[in-house]
Amino acid sequence: MAAEEQFHIGYFGDLRREQAGAILLERVVATGSLVLRKVGGDRAGELSAHRFLGSPHVTPEEILDTAGRRTAAACAGRRIVAAQDTTEINFKGRHLRREGLGPAGDGETPGFFCHAMVAIDADDEALLGVVDARIWTRSPGPVAARRSRDIEDKESFRWLEASMTASDLLSTAAQLIVLGDREFDIYSQFVRIPPGVHLIARAAHNRRLADDERLFDAPSDWRDFGTMDVRVPPARPGDPGRIAHVRVRAGRVCIVKPRHGAKTDPKTVTLTYLEVSEIKPPKGKTAITWRLLTTLPVAGEPDEFAAAQEIVRLYRLRWRIEQVFRAMKSDGLRLEETQVTQAARLFNLAAIALVAAARTIQLVDARDGSRRPASDVADQAVIAAAEAIGPTLEGKTARQKNPHERGSLAWLCWIIARLGGWNCYYKPPGPKTIRAGWNELAAMAAGYAVAMAQQDVRIP
Ligand SMILES: [Mn+2]
């Protein structure tokens, strides 16, 4: 049998591969960095991190599988929105000798793509974690060839695949709604949505309807349900965003299969179509129009306007996956600035970055004092360590006692903040304190797990 690979990361020596992966992830969260020198802790750690990322046994699938199972556990019994989207990691202006990448979206710069899905609690809007992701490169070659039907189908297939994975993995959720932007306007997806799963997509194509009308014209003779205010997200950093006053219409539409649709797909599909349009946009701003297609019902619901508003609200939870991508890239872990150049290592690092980005957001969210379970964010080992260390961090006065329900996220955050040096008096603890505390707790938990594992080995 081949010798088991050993890694030394942070304060830990002699880690097995799975342990090394878990610790590397926690170190990325704790340090807020993908710079392997920082993540590794010292020279030996840096080398181990490189070796881990380059190990033939380490794959993005394995890293994401672990994350997906944990997310699935957090989703049980809850109403879940699973938002998916594709992001591009582009090394423009950072031309180290990258090996094994394909062209990014501009067709020139080396880069790769990540299609990810995250789970969000539909009711309290909490980010519950990464469900799944696929990482790939486009093959080089003339733009015309890359635009061929084949590739397009392959890339849109990732959306269908993610919906299937969500259906399998999140089968214990109380309700599952998969969500996507205009790229998710895929006829094959509408007719192949897994049973029991709902879908919301932003409409990109002015599709033909069974009555020969066009989709975007359908609402012209529908009544307005009413108006509502929606927050329009900033178009670019620095843009404050705005509140738009919109009117909402919705109805059922029977969409005809596109000409190049798959032979096996049914000829029509009936969905709910929603049109959200801004009434009086401010001067100089284009009126917003959102067109949504969904399997969720509006027509015939006891309160049709409320049902339509709920669909708009659910669609807007898509900001959560955009937030995760930002945290993975320029606004956070800066994946596109990594010194790692080789494709297989980059993909492993991207998988770690994605999961770490979601974890970081969850930790920052948790500062607000949440009644959600600590297991939304932390592994059992971390919770066990928190339970062990928690009482020692409490003082004599009421103010120095952890006021939160044991096992809740707020309870865990209190312990993390204390470990990070928070003195219970000045509040709330900042992200730096949380990071430092998380680093301590993750280290304790890992140390505890390693000690346990080593004990196991000694038992004959
Ligand atoms: Mn997109």
Strands 12-15 and 79-90: unpaired
Range name among 71-75, 165-169, 281-285 with the lowest pLDDT average: 281-285
Instruction: Give me ligand 1 centre to Cα 163, in Å.
Output: 15
pLDDT tens for each residue of 245-274: 999 999 999 999 998 888 899 999 999 999
> Alpha-carbon distance 417 to 435, whole Å?
9
Q: Per-residue pLDDT for 310 more than 90?
A: yes
Task: Read off the pLDDT of each residue in 80-105 and give the average, rounded to a whole number.
Answer: 87
Ligand 1 centroid distance, CA of 114 (Å): 11
Whether the per-residue pLDDT at 203 is higher than 70: the answer is: yes
Q: For 12-27, what is each residue's pLDDT tens digit? A: 667 788 888 888 888 8
Dist. CA 107–CA 309, nearest whole Å: 40
pLDDT tens-digit series, residues 354-380: 999 998 888 878 776 677 888 888 888
150: confidence class by pLDDT, cuts 50, 70, 90? low
Question: 78 alpha carbon to ligand 1 midpoint, in Å?
Answer: 26
Residue 441 CA to ligand 1 center (angstroms) comes to 36
Gap from CA of 115 to ligand 1 centroid (Å): 9
Amino acid at 9: I
Specify the pLDDT at position 376. Answer: 80
Q: Give the per-residue pLDDT at 3.
A: 56
d(CA 330, CA 381): 31
Instruction: Outline where DSSP puts E strands in 314-445.
Output: none
What integer is the mean pLDDT of 5-18?
A: 76
CA of residue 423 to ligand 1 center, whole Å: 43
Kindly tell me if the per-residue pLDDT of 277 is higher than 90.
yes
Q: Cα of 457 to ligand 1 centre, how many Å? A: 47
- The residues pairing with 7 across neighbouring beta strands, listed in sequence order, are 15
Domains of the chain: 3-58+369-454 (no CATH), 60-326 (3.90.350.10)
pLDDT, mean over the chain: 88
Evaluated on CA atoms 179, 128, 248, 243, the torsion sign reads negative
CA of 69 to the centre of ligand 1 (A): 25
| CB neighbour class for 146 (10 Å; exposed up to 12, middle 13-18, buried from 19) | middle
Structure tokens at 106: 């501009």
CA 181 – CA 171 distance, rounded (Å): 23
